[in-house]
Amino acid sequence: MNMRHERISILGLGSMGRALAGALLDAGRDVTVWNRTPGKAGDLLARGAREAPSVAEAIEAGDLTVACLLDDASVREALAPAVPKLAGGTLVNLTSGSSRQARDLAGWLEEHDVRFLAGGIMAVPPTVGTDGAFILYSGARELFDRVAAVLGPIGRPHWAGEDPGAAALYDMAALSAMYGLSAGADHAVALVHADGGDVEKFKREVLRPWMEQTLPIMVAGADVRDSVPDEYNPAMQATGLETMLAFSAEAGVPDERAGHLRASLWAMRRAAAG
């Protein structure tokens, strides 16, 4: 059978589920969708998708079922009544969760004779299906090879390893880095705004080129031991972070926005103490 012609059922039509279904339809795939709250299929139906009225019927309509729901609990809740229908079939879970949740789900599905790949989406809805998008998968390599051929249109498939928890682990860790950067960028803008600066000019002329210059250094230097190379003197950085925290408070930026500075101060003080 030509894997590209496998029928795909998508559980979940939140903003990510809709983007996944749209990218697969654009690539000519056969797509059935299900959502807990009906009526969210929107233009996907006009573009060729079919809507299933229940999880069980969605599973029956597909050769491959993809779940993209809110969290692990919602996946369990949606699958529990329908899991016998999945026996002998394949589930790919693209719902964010922890590595432990992915391993537990893998164990539960194995008991029900379901082949399983855990996944993590390294994209946001508007970038699904674009060149930069990639999807982490973990589980059996030969299953990954089959699924990669079918789901390629949503993002470049990347196998994280046999351990079902591997994709979730990398996904959670990568999202942590992204939220750290996002918190830092939000705090930077809040400071400029609070002190009467031109936010758009700052973003364009300073923040973006600064982030682009330092991003590779941050990734290369990330270290579990809080070690800081000599040229980045941790005691000097701790003093700088204390100044930034004091300025942030003076400017009236809520303390909760400055949590990333406290995390860095903690790391620099530890590094300085050796």
Among 65, 93, 95, 264, binds ligand FVH (CB under 6 A): 95
Among 23, 49, 78, 190, binds ligand FVH (CB under 6 A): 78
Residue 65 interacting with ligand FVH (CB under 6 A):
no
Among 17, 22, 129, 155, binds ligand FVH (CB under 6 A): 17
Count the Cβ atoms, other than its own, within 10 Å of residue 49. 24
Buried b (16+ CB within 10 A) or exposed e, 71-108: ebebbeebbeebbebbeebbbbbbbbbebebbbbbbee
Structural tokens at position 34: 């299900």
Contact 5, 28 (CB under 8 A): no
Which part of the chain contacts ligand FVH (CB under 6 A), choosing from 15-23, 148-156, 176-184, 243-251?
15-23
Residue 32 interacting with ligand FVH (CB under 6 A):
no
Which part of the chain contacts ligand FVH (CB under 6 A), choosing from 13-21, 41-49, 85-93, 142-150?
13-21
Residue 155 interacting with ligand FVH (CB under 6 A):
no
Nearer to ligand FVH, 153 or 234 (CB): 153
The three-class DSSP label of residue 34 is: strand
Separation of alpha carbons 189 and 128, rounded Å: 28
Among 12, 153, 184, 234, binds ligand FVH (CB under 6 A): 12
Contact 23, 129 (CB under 8 A): yes
Helices (H), 62-207: 72-79, 83-86, 99-111, 141-151, 166-194, 199-202
Residue 40 interacting with ligand FVH (CB under 6 A):
yes
Residue 173 interacting with ligand FVH (CB under 6 A):
no
Contact set with ligand FVH (CB under 6 A): 12-17, 35-37, 40, 68-71, 74, 77-78, 95-96, 121, 124-125
